[in-house]
């Protein structure tokens, strides 16, 4: 009989499995690191080229701040996007590996399964994001002398919780729609990217998009990270940005888990758990 004390070991089993898959497909990990680095550098060079494009004289300090503004948004979104994608793709990967039936037949609570996958995702996203940051720093001077590390880590933690909830909720789509579900999850991610101020302030968005930005946890996380890394704001002064993201995480995780369990039950009853298709 599986007891409560066994749950950490069961969750770690999924972490170990994901680590083994990363070693097996290590070239894909290299692809994502190179892709993230090139994307971040491209955005940074857009910031550096802004004065030449607009034909205006801008102080070097202003350009440097603008570049850092873009880089924080880009790398933070890469981290949050990886958390979302890995969890949303959990069903697609299980089908691709041909293990979905075995995983869902295993006597493991679904919460333990998903939390184990989330822990593995956090490790992977952290490695990719930190590696990308160091790679970018080789080409673009990044001034983080005023950064408040405690505030930055706080927002990364809060953002991780919120995006775990969103990822679990979006993982329902591949369960219900074998062929179209993953694409629907990516549409959710694309909308969140649009309205969350990754590359620009949300104030420039049209009214309907600004309304959506209010319920996106990435809006608060990215703005908070900019405050922490660019302005050196402490956690207390950034609290107005912390609690909305925490609230989204507190709501989305149980709702996403409940939806996933119901979708799993429906998929089993209708024969949608199959190794291919």
Region of 232 on the Ramachandran plot (φ > 0 left; ψ -120 to 50 alpha; else beta):
left
Kindly report the pTM of this predicted structure: 0.83
Nearest C-alpha neighbor of 172 from the set 98, 87, 58, 53: 87
pLDDT score at 2: 60
Neighbours of 28 (CB within 10 A): 11
pLDDT score at 206: 92
Cα separation, 202 vs 106, whole angstroms? 44
Per residue in 129-181, pLDDT tens? 888 888 888 888 777 777 888 888 888 888 888 888 888 888 888 887 877 77
pLDDT score at 4: 65
The residue written with tokens 């590390």 in the block is 149
pLDDT score at 129: 84
Low-confidence ranges of the chain (pLDDT < 50): 277
């Amino acid at each position: 009989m599986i007891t409560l004390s066994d749950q950490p070991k069961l969750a770690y089993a999924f972490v170990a499995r994901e680590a083994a898959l990363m070693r097996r497909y290590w070239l894909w990990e290299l692809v994502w690191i190179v892709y993230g680095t090139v994307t971040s550098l491209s955005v940074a060079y857009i910031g550096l080229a802004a004065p030449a494009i607009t034909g205006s004289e801008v102080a070097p300090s202003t350009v440097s701040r603008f570049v850092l503004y873009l880089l924080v948004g880009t790398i933070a979104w890469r981290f949050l996007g990886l958390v979302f994608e890995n969890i949303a793709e959990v069903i697609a990967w299980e089908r691709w590996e041909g293990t979905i039936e075995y995983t869902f037949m295993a006597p493991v609570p679904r919460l333990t399964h998903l939390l184990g996958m989330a822990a593995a995702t956090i490790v992977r996203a952290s490695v990719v994001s930190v590696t990308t940051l160091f790679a970018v720093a080789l080409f673009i001077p990044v001034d983080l002398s005023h950064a408040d590390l405690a505030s930055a880590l706080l927002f990364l933690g809060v953002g991780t919780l919120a995006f775990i909830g969103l990822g679990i909720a979006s993982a329902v789509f591949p369960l219900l729609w074998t062929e179209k579900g993953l694409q629907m999850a990516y549409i959710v991610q694309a909308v969140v990217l649009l309205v969350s101020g990754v590359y620009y302030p949300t104030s420039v968005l049209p009214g309907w998009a600004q309304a959506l930005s209010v319920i996106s946890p990435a809006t608060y996380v990215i703005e908070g990270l900019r405050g922490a890394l660019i302005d050196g704001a402490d956690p207390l002064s950034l609290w107005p940005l912390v609690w909305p993201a925490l609230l989204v995480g507190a709501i989305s995780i149980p709702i996403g888990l409940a939806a996933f369990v119901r979708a799993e039950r429906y998929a089993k009853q209708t024969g949608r758990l199959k190794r291919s298709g």
